[in-house]
Amino acid sequence: MPDDILLTDLRDNVLILTLNRPSKLNALSPDLLKRLAEELEAADADDSVKVVVFYGGEKVFAAGADITAMAQLNPTGVLQSGTRGYWKRIWDFGKPMIAAVRGIAFGGGCELAMSCDLIVASESSQFAQPEIKLGIMPGAGGTQRLAAAIGPYRTMEMVLTGEPISAQEAHDAGLVNRLVPDEKVLEEALALAATIAQRPQVAVRLARQAVRYGVERTLLDGLKMERRNYRMLYDTEDQKEGMAAFLEKRDPQFKDR
Ligand code: CO8
């Protein structure tokens, strides 16, 4: 179904999941996250899937979580929204994941790319954690996974200013595995996926698990603090103002409370 919010395509043991909300820049609505989680759960149990590639089409990877679904939430609402459970299913997926990024990967879109094991990016793509401009902060691992990938100083600049970095900067900083011309992104991601799919899968699974364990284990406390602070921000006037301003297409008037 071409108008489905998530397109699936299984090619030679590689499952391509294409986010398909182009009119909303692939914003990760609760429905879309749920679909992603469900597809991954099925893929985990399906031996014909060896690698998953996340793609957002030719224009945009994803502009983050869907702000319309978040604007009115309070901390309890964040807790009850169920989206964290969908994210967790993405993080718990047991097979290699590759992000094929064209266009912007912002906020939750950047965090989705960083949830993957490898990132292939087009030369014109951009990465950002712009949540600060909405009165919130990254909440799906951005503060920790970005720092693990590119170091605390560059992360601090991105998280505190909300400004994007180019694909070239992301590549130089170690966030992007392969930087390729725009039209080659999916092809390159699929070539990487094909190589991994040809390796012995028990070894792939266990090697991946060991690498991830080493990295993620050191992030656990930080992720806990990120989760708590992220939720706390939904108790502020600035979060309500920041998100209302985005939806009303105006500049926010923050009051620092
Ligand atoms: N959510 C909802 N709608 C969006 C989003 C979004 N994140 N991004 C874009 N859209 C919509 C716009 O509202 C617009 O809709 P419409 O045409 O109906 O008005 C359409 O997509 C096109 O967007 P723009 O007109 O804004 O396109 P521009 O090219 O002018 O601007 C930008 C592109 C700069 C990317 C701009 O759209 C933007 O700043 N988007 C928001 C980026 C952002 O702040 N992302 C972070 C969101 S918060 C987040 O991701 C937190 C995740 C934490 C998860 C925690 C789990 C528990």
Domain assignment present for residue 146? The answer is yes
Residue 131 Cβ < 6 Å to ligand 1: yes
How many Cβ atoms from other residues are within 10 Å of residue 65's Cβ? 28
Q: Is the CB of 243 under 6 A from ligand 1?
A: no
Sheet-wide strand order for 126-128: 104-106, 126-128, 165-166
Please determine, for residue 1, whether its predicted confidence score (pLDDT) is greater than 70: no
- Is residue 216 included in any domain, yes or no? no
**Residue 225 Cα, ligand 1 centroid: separation in angstroms?**
25
Q: Whose CA is nearest to atom 6 of ligand 1?
A: 66
Asked whether residue 233 is domain-assigned, the answer is no
Count the domains in the chain: 1
Is the four-CA dihedral 100, 140, 176, 220 of positive or negative sign? negative
Instruction: Please tell me what DSSP assigns to residue 61.
Output: S
Is 108 an annotated catalytic residue? Answer: yes
Q: What is d(CA 106, CA 220) in angstroms, rounded to the nearest whole number?
A: 23
Q: Tokens for 230? A: 């992220």
Q: How far is the CA of 106 from the centre of ligand 1 (A)?
A: 8
CA of 72 to the centre of ligand 1 (A): 16
pLDDT at 152: 96
* Mean pLDDT, residues 149-159 taken together: 97
Alpha-helix residue ranges (DSSP H) falling in 118-200: 142-150, 152-161, 167-173, 185-198
Which residues 6+ apart lie within 8 Å of 195 measured at CB?
Answer: none
Overall size of the chain counted in residues:
257
> Is residue 228 a part of any domain in this protein?
no
> CB–CB of 40/8 below 8 Å?
no
- pTM (predicted TM-score): 0.98
65 CA distance to ligand 1 centroid (A)? Answer: 8
Q: What is the CATH number of the domain that holds 93?
A: 3.90.226.10
pLDDT tens digits for 216-256?
A: 999 999 999 999 999 999 999 999 999 999 999 999 999 99
For a ligand 1 pocket test, name from 67, 76, 104, 114 the mutation site with the most ligand atoms within 8 angstroms of its C-beta: 67
For helices 152-161 and 142-150, the axis angle rounded to 10 degrees is 140
Pairing label, strands 165-166, 118-122: unpaired
Does 218 map to a domain? no
Rounded to 5°, the CA angle 148-150-152 comes to: 70
Whether residue 211 lies inside any domain: the answer is no
Cβ of 127 closer than 6 Å to ligand 1, yes or no, is: no
For the segment 59-83, the average pLDDT, to the nearest whole number, is 96
Q: pLDDT digit string (tens) for 155-166?
A: 999 999 999 999
Domain-located, residue 244? no
Pocket of ligand 1, candidates 24, 88, 112: which has the most ligand atoms within 8 Å of its Cβ, to mutate? 24
222 vs 134, 206, 257, CA distance in Å? 22, 25, 24
**Whole-angstrom distance, CA of residue 181 vs CA of residue 22:** 21
Told to judge if 37 belongs to the known catalytic residues of this protein, a careful annotator would answer: no
- Specify the amino acid at residue 171: H
Mean of the pLDDT values across residues 68-87?
A: 95
Verify whether residue 188 is a known catalytic residue.
no
Q: Is residue 238 part of a domain?
A: no
What are the structure tokens assigned to 133, written together? Answer: 């401009």
Give the pLDDT band of residue 3 (cuts 50, 70, 90).
confident
CA distance 49 to 42: 9
Bridge partners, residue 7, by sequence: 18
105 touches ligand 1 (CB under 6 Å): no
- Alpha-carbon distance of 167 to 102, in angstroms, equals 10
Instruction: Give every CB contact of residue 254 below 8 A, 6+ residues apart in sequence.
Output: 135, 238, 241, 242
Name the active-site residue from 64, 103, 107, 108. 108
Residue span of the structural domain in which 169 resides: 6-181+192-197
pLDDT of residue 2: 59
100 Cα–ligand 1 center, Å: 19
pLDDT for 200-210, tens place per residue?
A: 999 999 999 99
- Reply yes or no on whether 131 is catalytic: yes
